Amino acid sequence: MSEIDLISTASDEASTVDIITEIQRQETLLKTGALQNAIFNSANFSSIATDAKGVIQIFNVGAERMLGYRAAEVINKITPADISDPQEVIARAKELSIELETTITPGFEALVFKASRGIEDIYELTYIRKDGSRFPAVVSVTALRDAQDTIIGYLLIGTDNTARKQAEEALIKAGALQNAIFNSANFSSIATDAKGVIQIFNVGAERMLGYAAADVMNKITPAEISDPQEVIARAKALSAELATPITPGFEALVFKASRGIEDIYELTYIRKDGSRFPAVVSVTALRDAQDGIIGYLLIGTDNTARKQVEAEQKKLDQRLRDQQFYTRSLIEANIDAIMTTDPSGIISDVNKQMEALTGCTRDELIGAPFKNYFTDPDRAEAGIKRVLSENKVTNYELTARAWDGKETVVSYNATTFYDRDRTLQGVFAAARDVTERKLLDQALQETNMALESAKFVAEKANLAKSDFLSSMSHELRSPLNAILGFAQLMESEAPQPSPSQKTSINQILQAGWYLLELINEILDLALIESGKLALSPEPVSLTEVLGDCHAMIEPQAQKSGIRLIFPQLDCPRFVGADRTRVKQVIINLLSNAIKYNRVGGTVEVTCHPNTAERIRISVHDTGEGLSLDKLSQLFQPFNRLGQEAGVEEGTGIGLVVSKRLVELMGGEIGVESTVGVGSVFWIELNTSVTVHIIDTVDDQTASSVITTHEKADALLRTVLCVEDNPANLMLMETLLDRRSDIRLLTAKNGKRGIEIAHAAQPDVILMDINLPGISGITALKLLREDPATAHIPVIALSANAMPRDIEKGLDAGFFRYLTKPIKVNEFMDTLNAALTFSELQ
């Protein structure tokens, strides 16, 4: 064969190959065109394709249906941004600019920016129809690229947001457009041939069903990945609907589409691993140029979320039904007569108790006016109106009248009720039969009135007695003052009285002082019983009190030949009490222990904590002791336990006063006694702030009017403490000694405190209220009236802790009012605030 023949033969063979290739290409184009036409002829999606600048090039029938425009009105004229909500476009541009850290211009760029960077993009957007109406859409954007991967345009596929997970892909013309759709993982796109064998299985289908495309293409039909029972049921339902036999299988899935009927249905898909999920499937027939069916396109979305919502809704519905049943059961089981009315007072529902109360059936009551079933209809109607105006009423009494005339007194509690939109529905009321209670209340009221009357008479008599005793005590003091005064003058005048005269004078003095003691005790008892005795509770040092009592009682003990033993406390102990009254009680117990002791006997005082909160002070004597009978008579006014004829003087009310005083101070008093051995009288008082004083203070320093604590620091702040109680002064000294920036000045009365304040100009003043001479409140007033001291902040430190006391102090102008016992942290914070305030003046 010649070279020319070889070339000719080769040329013929090449031509044949080209022809075959061209034929195959044309067949592919025909198939692709049919696929594309199927998508663009579907009204289920709005498919809008643009050029690279965003100008619309394709506007399918779905877009026409959704947006109201004809394709000719938008193609080559506007961009998708022109049919989108402008505010949402601006907001999207702003969000993407922040997210991607680059400036994005509001407009079409904001709709496709992610897609232009190769980022899959699905978002929500409001589309604006031609008529101006709006609807929410879910939009999927894909960049269209040519063979060189250059962007040639964009595809925007939209679905109505009410079916936000529906098919995103529609087949349009070949190449980049088709690949963009089938590369989306948000929808399962399955294309089959005319017999149902799968030809295309996109990434969305692979993701949802777990199969690789190669596992199913040219091997199975969609029916084989669908629930077989549902396929059979669908075939049966369609056969009945369309009056034609339909074979269970693939035919049942596409029968309507094959007849040109739009078809969207629910179906359960079965994954490769056997698990199942509900899907919504849209089916479209694929046709060739001659309108012959060459296959089917099934676009599916996972319906799991919606199914879960439906299941939850069913549960909620069932729960609501259960709750309604439960509520009805509670209403019926209630012992009260329950009913509801509309806002005008017409009964809308009742329970069995309401039926029993009125003697009417539920059907007879519903629709009737509420007021008709009461003896006073106007009051019943007023009750409904009151509920509507005030939202509720409580204990609203009415008398119900049953159809047989029986009357029942009921107490109504009612409230308004609303629906879920907060619209008033009416009144919910519960009535309880209170007939018996009313009778009991009436009897109780009559009894209480009788008791109140008797109590008033008794209190009046007791008050009259107390007032008489108080008046008598005060009236006796004046002549007694003269008697004792002149007797003392006679005892000391020159020349000295004769022995017989001296004996008479001693008798006068002894009787006079005894009478004064009696008057004081009677006055105390009168004040206690009338409730007029004022106490000043504060931290009281037992070391000081017992020392004072020892000194006061020692002469009496020596005169009687009684040995006294007082404790040496290992550490300071403090109780919360009235200092004067504590001494009064202990002196009384000591005096009794001496008077009723045996010759040469002993009186011993002990002091120890009884609990963490209480300290017990006991007085032991070596007297005759008390029998059980006499113990039971203790603490009775004017009862001297048979000692009236004895040589020892006494009033019989000292222990009564002591008991009342201890109890008023929050304490307790008691006695233990053994006949022939002696007695132990004890009191218990509450512990107070314990002040640990390291350095002892000598008498000269303690009694000094002013104490100055010098500090090394040159920038000292001066604090003046006006306080008459040594224990409280030592507490302040100990607390402020910790502050190197403060020097402390002290004064024991208000007058001296004012003088020091004027001279020393302290930064802050700490002021007690109950001071000798002028009170702390009066001292504050005088400080405020003086321009030299008016600016100094004054903090009240007082044992007067009643709310009215605090209010009175603050109204008087104290910077702060702290009550004793003080809390250290609170005190320091208050002091710092006062120092800061002073510095700003």
* Selection from 597, 598, 578, 613 nearest residue 681 by Cα: 597
| Average of per-residue pLDDT across 235-247 | 93
Highest mean pLDDT among 320-334, 443-457, 550-564: 550-564
Q: Answer yes or no: do 584 and 605 share one domain.
A: yes
Q: Answer yes or no: do 518 and 546 share one domain.
A: no
CATH of the domain at 738: 3.40.50.2300
CATH of the domain at 624: 3.30.565.10
Q: Are 340 and 428 in contact (CB under 8 A)?
A: yes
Where a domain ends, among 408, 433, 458? 433
Domain count for the chain:
4
Q: Answer yes or no: do 449 and 416 share one domain.
A: no
CA gyration radius, the chain: 53
Q: Which two tokens stand for residue 544?
A: 């000081």
| Average of per-residue pLDDT across 437-459 | 81
Residue 713 pLDDT > 90: no
pLDDT value of position 515:
66
Confidence of residue 186 (pLDDT cuts 50, 70, 90): confident
* Selection from 510, 585, 549, 542 nearest residue 727 by Cα: 542
Q: Are 553 and 564 in contact (CB under 8 A)?
A: yes
Q: Answer yes or no: do 522 and 541 share one domain.
A: no
Which of helix, strand or coil describes residue 239?
helix
Q: Answer yes or no: do 739 and 811 share one domain.
A: yes
Residue 290 domain-assigned? no
Confidence of residue 57 (pLDDT cuts 50, 70, 90): very high
- pLDDT per residue over 589-642, tens digit each? 998 899 889 989 999 999 999 888 999 999 999 998 888 888 877 777 665 555
Residue 652 pLDDT > 50: yes
Residue 203 domain-assigned? no
Where a domain ends, among 480, 507, 526? 526
Residue 48 domain-assigned? no
Backbone φ, ψ for residue 259 (5° rounding): -100, 10
CATH of the domain at 502: 1.10.287.130
Q: Which residue has the higher pLDDT, 27 or 785?
A: 785
Q: Answer yes or no: do 729 and 819 share one domain.
A: yes
CA distance 296 to 192: 5
pLDDT value of position 682:
95
pLDDT value of position 41:
56
pTM of the model: 0.34
Q: Answer yes or no: do 673 and 725 share one domain.
A: no
CA distance 149 to 134: 36
H helices of 343-434, where?
A: 352-358, 362-365, 377-390
Domain span at residue 514? 439-526
C-alpha distances out from residue 752 to 705, 732, 789, Å:
8, 18, 14
CATH of the domain at 367: 3.30.450.20
Q: Answer yes or no: do 516 and 563 share one domain.
A: no
Residue 604 domain-assigned? yes
E strands present in 678-824: 678-686, 717-722, 742-747, 764-767, 794-798, 816-819
> Which residue type is seen at 557?
A
Order the strands of the 121-128 sheet from edge to edge: 56-59, 46-51, 151-160, 134-145, 121-128
CA distance 471 to 522: 10
- pLDDT per residue over 740-791, tens digit each? 899 999 999 999 999 999 999 999 999 999 888 899 999 999 999 999 999 9
Q: Answer yes or no: do 715 and 752 share one domain.
A: yes
Q: Answer yes or no: do 376 and 406 share one domain.
A: yes
Q: Are 657 and 699 in contact (CB under 8 A)?
A: no
- pLDDT per residue over 116-165, tens digit each? 998 888 999 999 999 999 999 989 999 999 889 899 999 999 987 754 43
Residue 199 domain-assigned? no
Residue 398 domain-assigned? yes
- Average pLDDT, rounded, for the chain: 82
pLDDT value of position 172:
38
Q: Answer yes or no: do 360 and 445 share one domain.
A: no
* 792, HSE (Cβ side, Cα atoms, 13 Å): 33
Residue 359 domain-assigned? yes
Residue 17 pLDDT > 50: no
H or E segment and range at residue 407: strand 407-418
- pLDDT per residue over 698-711, tens digit each? 333 333 333 444 44
Q: Answer yes or no: do 507 and 636 share one domain.
A: no
Q: Which residue has the higher pLDDT, 40 or 211?
A: 211
Confidence of residue 523 (pLDDT cuts 50, 70, 90): low
Backbone φ, ψ for residue 216 (5° rounding): -120, -25
* Selection from 630, 790, 643, 799 nearest residue 731 by Cα: 799
The DSSP 8-state label assigned to residue 617 in this structure reads: E
CA distance 823 to 825: 6
- pLDDT per residue over 475-509, tens digit each? 565 455 456 555 665 665 667 888 888 888 777 76
* Selection from 279, 297, 287 nearest residue 45 by Cα: 297
- pLDDT per residue over 397-416, tens digit each? 888 898 888 888 998 899 99
Segment among 1-15, 28-42, 208-222, 804-818 with least mean pLDDT: 1-15
Residue 457 domain-assigned? yes
CA distance 252 to 196: 11
Segment among 246-255, 364-373, 449-458, 790-799 with least mean pLDDT: 449-458
Q: Are 177 and 183 in contact (CB under 8 A)?
A: no
Q: Which residue has the higher pLDDT, 21 or 454?
A: 454
Where a domain ends, among 413, 433, 453? 433
Q: Which residue has the higher pLDDT, 549 or 520?
A: 549
